[in-house]
Amino acid sequence: MSMSIICSNPSPCEQRKHASSVLPFFNSILIISTGLAVLSVPISTVESTIQVWPKPRTFLWPQPQATLLSPTFTISTPNQIHIHLSSTIKRYLNLIQTEHHVPLVPPTLNFTTSTPPLQTLLVSVSDLTAPLHHNVNESYTLTIPTWGPANLTAETVWGAMRGLETFSQLVWGDPLRVAVGLYIWGAPLFAHRGVLLDTSRNYYPVEVILRTIGAISVNKMNVFHWHITDSHSFPLLVPSEPDLAAKGSYGPDMLYTPYDVNRIVQFGLEHGVGVVPEIDTPAHTGS
């Protein structure tokens, strides 16, 4: 069964905000799906006025309060270099500084200006070499004190990405405010959390696929199952066998080139989403 995903064209700074409308069925799928039943695990928390999605395993906020986010807020990874983590930090920093999310229901909490604005989020990763594979450790710990820098620690880069998504959900308003005095520990209940898209029965442009992966990422899922080919069409351009796509695709403008495939895979890695291609051959070649 394929999932047909139709997306509009948001600007880059609106990508995360638009993610829920890109995939309007996500909310129901995430709630009812056995593979995404994160809500079934025990949650240690007060009755939070800020809803983090998906819910972390532990959310401790004994005295709900918030302070201003500094106009010069930074996200720092001291002495740690990782190409995908660096691009993720840049993306989230831009998102946090430009989105100015306005909650439908304003949080009920104590907003204070007596403490200095939050200036820095320090990110620390134990293992910078762990690849994105099945069962990789995606846990993270996020602490935002009332004074001093916030701290995000994770075993792997992929866990740090999940923590950055959580942090971004704790910032809102104009001027920007951030929840403080809280402790969060998050970890997925299931190792494989993904969405399948069938581009054989329905061709989707590369930009739509990239936006789909972005939506998968902000929902903290980690797999894009790309059903590229089937009996209906063969849109994958294989340089050694160009006739497969020339004769099997819906048209010359409905192909995925090696450049397109590499772009999609790299975009997935930058968002903590592994791309799992499904290519049916020699069977399913009716096209």
How far is it, in rounded angstroms, from Cα 265 to Cα 259? 10
Which pTM value belongs to this model?
A: 0.81
Segment 159-185, tens digit of pLDDT: 999 999 999 999 999 999 999 999 999
Question: Of residues 50 and 280, which shows the higher confidence score?
Answer: 50
Residue 175, preceding bond cis, omega within 30 degrees?
yes
* Spatial contact of 213 and 194, defined as CB atoms under 8 Å apart: no
CA dihedral 270, 276, 281, 287 (to 10 degrees): -70
- Please report the pLDDT score of residue 260 as a whole number: 98
* Spatial contact of 139 and 184, defined as CB atoms under 8 Å apart: no
What average pLDDT does the chain have? 86
Q: Kindly state the average pLDDT of the residues 224-243.
A: 95
The secondary element (H helix, E strand) that includes residue 143 is strand 140-144
Would you identify the CATH topology of the domain 21-27+191-278? Transcription Regulator spoIIAA (3.30.750)
Classify residue 218 as exposed, middle or buried by CB count within 10 Å of its CB (0-12, 13-18, 19+).
buried
Lowest mean pLDDT segment, chosen from 42-46, 140-144, 233-237 = 42-46
- For β-strands 150-156 and 118-127, DSSP reports them as parallel
The token pair at 237 is 């351009």
From 164, 168, 149, select the one nearest 95 (Cα to Cα): 168
Segment 196-225, tens digit of pLDDT: 999 999 999 999 999 999 999 999 999 999
Q: Which CATH superfamily is domain 40-186 in?
A: Chitobiase/beta-hexosaminidase domain 2-like (3.30.379.10)
The token pair at 28 is 């129901």
Ranges for all domains in the chain classified under CATH 3.30.750: 21-27+191-278
Segment 31-89, tens digit of pLDDT: 334 343 333 344 443 445 788 999 999 999 999 999 999 999 999 998 889 999 999 99
Ranges for all domains in the chain classified under CATH 3.30.379.10: 40-186
| Residue type present at position 50 | I
Q: Kindly state the average pLDDT of the residues 18-41.
A: 42
- Please report the pLDDT score of residue 281 as a whole number: 72
